[in-house]
């Protein structure tokens, strides 16, 4: 079984990603906590590629990284790549976003997830991107999920990500879409090494 380092030191992210790897032979593990990568890219894919490449080089192992966030049309794509750093906590991020959208009738938004896989030499060999479009509600609904999930509403399902069954969310989400696209290539890569 080949190891695939996740360019994150967040155990929660590892658990979430392991679900996508249920039928894949790669063994996922977190990067060391002291190995930090500054996200200087201008897009989600640039940041994911940067993290995958630098961690792979440092550890001389295959590495996967993701970068994701919320892009709101009325805010010119903000918070975008700064989604996690928009405010100090999830609750404050939501509060800030709702304040900025207070006078806007355009509530269209999309979650974006970019994935990048690097070989041990730091070369990006696989990438994938997933998007999920929804509407930003005026107040949070639901207790599940994290981040902006309580205000991200999918009209066709009548629920926010924070209200949705986790299995359904994992299939519909930006991350689920990105992984569905990436996994066949990862399976083939694993066979070739």
What is the percent of the chain with per-residue pLDDT over 70, rounded to a whole number? 99
- Residue 19: the pLDDT is 82
Collapsed DSSP state (helix, strand, coil) of residue 13: helix
- State how far Cα 96 lies from the chain centre: 21
- 40-68 tens-digit pLDDT: 999 999 999 999 999 999 999 999 999 99
Structure tokens at 14: 């590892």
Query: Radius of gyration over alpha carbons of the chain, in Å?
Result: 17
Mean pLDDT throughout 19-30?
Answer: 85
Q: Which domain holds residue 23?
A: 3-192
**Residue 168 burial (C-beta neighbours within 10 Å; 0-12, 13-18, 19+):** middle
What's the pLDDT tens digit per position in 105-140? 999 999 999 999 999 999 999 999 999 999 999 999
CATH of the domain at 89: 3.90.950.10
Give the per-residue pLDDT at 21.
Answer: 84
Interior CA angle at 140 toward 134 and 144, to 5°?
A: 85
Give me the phi and psi of 119, to 5 degrees please.
Answer: -80, 175
Q: Which of 34, 66, 67, 90 is flagged as catalytic?
A: 67
- Res. 1 pLDDT band, cuts 50 70 90: low
| Residue 179 CA from chain centroid, whole number | 10
- Assessment of whether the complete model's pTM goes beyond 0.85: yes
Q: Is 167 among the catalytic positions?
A: no
β-pairing, 63-72 vs 3-6, is: parallel
Evaluate whether 132 touches 110 at the Cβ level (below 8 Å): yes
Count: domains in the chain: 1
Could you give the CA distance from residue 4 to residue 57 in angstroms, rounded to a whole number? 13
CB of 81 within 8 A of CB of 39?
yes
Q: What rounded mean pLDDT belongs to the chain?
A: 93
Identify the CA nearest to 46 among candidates 84, 10, 81. 81
pLDDT recorded at residue 172? 92
Percent of the chain exceeding pLDDT 90 equals 73
Alpha helices in 89-149 (DSSP H): 90-100
């Amino acid at each position: 079984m080949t190891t695939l380092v996740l360019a994150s030191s967040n155990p929660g992210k590892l658990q979430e990603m392991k679900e996508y790897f249920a039928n894949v032979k790669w063994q996922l593990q977190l990067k060391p906590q002291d190995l930090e990568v500054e996200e200087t890219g201008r897009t989600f894919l640039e940041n994911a590629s940067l993290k995958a490449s630098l961690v792979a080089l440092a550890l001389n192992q295959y590495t996967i990284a993701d970068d994701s966030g919320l892009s709101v049309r009325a805010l010119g794509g903000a918070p975008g790549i700064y989604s996690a750093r928009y405010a100090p906590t999830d609750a404050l991020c939501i509060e800030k976003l709702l304040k900025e959208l207070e006078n806007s009738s355009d509530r269209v938004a999309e979650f974006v997830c970019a994935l990048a896989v690097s070989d041990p030499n730091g070369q990006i060999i696989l990438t994938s991107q997933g998007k999920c479009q929804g509407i930003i509600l005026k107040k949070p609904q639901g207790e599940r999920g994290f981040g902006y999930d309580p205000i991200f509403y999918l009209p066709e399902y009548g629920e926010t990500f924070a209200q949705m069954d986790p299995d359904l969310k994992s299939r519909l989400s930006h991350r689920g879409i990105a992984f569905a696209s990436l996994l066949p290539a990862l399976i083939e890569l694993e066979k070739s090494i």
